Amino acid sequence: MTDGSREELAARRGTERKVYQPAEDSGLLATAIEERGRGRLLEVGTGSGWVAARAAREVDAVTDVVASDRSPHACRAARQRAAEDGSSAAFEVVRGDLVAPFVGDAFDTVAFNPPYLPTDPDNEWDDWMERALSGGESGRALIEPFLDAVGRVLAPDGVVLLLVSSLAGYDAVLDHAAACGFETRAVVEESYPFETLSVVALTRSRADADN
């Protein structure tokens, strides 16, 4: 993104400087979890922990919740939210990059609202706010590594709930998911003046599951 300062971009996404705060994409992911989430849930890139807390509190099919983030500021905020919300919204917080900290087949549901705003390399800021927002030049700098890795931690019949913005190339994301052995189905979708947001459910393709 070449036409805005850090302050303008943060204001557009409803965020503050170090930790991503709940915005329209957060609400959409939470709705998708209510519809499709079950069993042990991992929320990757939890930010403030708002989605994880809502899942722990409101989704009966979810038995327990783990939230992860690479930002120490986000982990601190998420732990504080879990403590303040009490036992009804309790969840574990782990600091780590994508799914790296977790063992194989550990989660029935993995949810991710990735940084997806395309950012010109000349305009990158190299701070925690930029890392929470920027998806690199394509918008898929974290989406594609996530898709490459998430199958390892997903239970055999598990589901990935991935938020996809039209800014990051919806078809390109689905093509990469298919190349990683996933079938895709849109769960919820909303259009806004500057983008369309979708949450896509990814399940292992039948051919991949049979191997």
Check if the beta carbon of residue 170 is closer than 8 Å to that of residue 199. Answer: no
Block residue for tokens 């030049």:
137
- Gyration radius from the chain CA atoms: 16
Q: Cα–Cα distance between 157 and 73 in angstroms, integer? A: 33
Among the four given CATH numbers 2.30.40.10, 3.40.50.150, 1.20.120.530, 3.30.70.1060, the one describing domain 6-210: 3.40.50.150
Check if the beta carbon of residue 111 is closer than 8 Å to that of residue 42. Answer: yes
Q: Cα–Cα distance between 106 and 145 in angstroms, integer? A: 18
Which residue ranges make up each domain of the chain? 6-210
Check if the beta carbon of residue 49 is closer than 8 Å to that of residue 82. Answer: yes
- Full pLDDT tens readout for the chain, 211 residues: 333 444 444 555 444 456 777 788 999 999 999 999 999 999 999 999 999 999 999 999 999 999 999 999 999 999 999 998 877 778 999 999 999 999 999 999 999 999 877 776 665 555 555 566 666 778 898 999 999 999 999 999 999 999 999 999 999 999 999 999 999 999 999 998 888 999 999 999 875 655 5
Where b means 16+ CB within 10 Å and e means fewer, 56-70 reads bbebeebeebbbbbb
Q: What is the dihedral of CA 79, 83, 87, 92, to 10 degrees?
A: 20
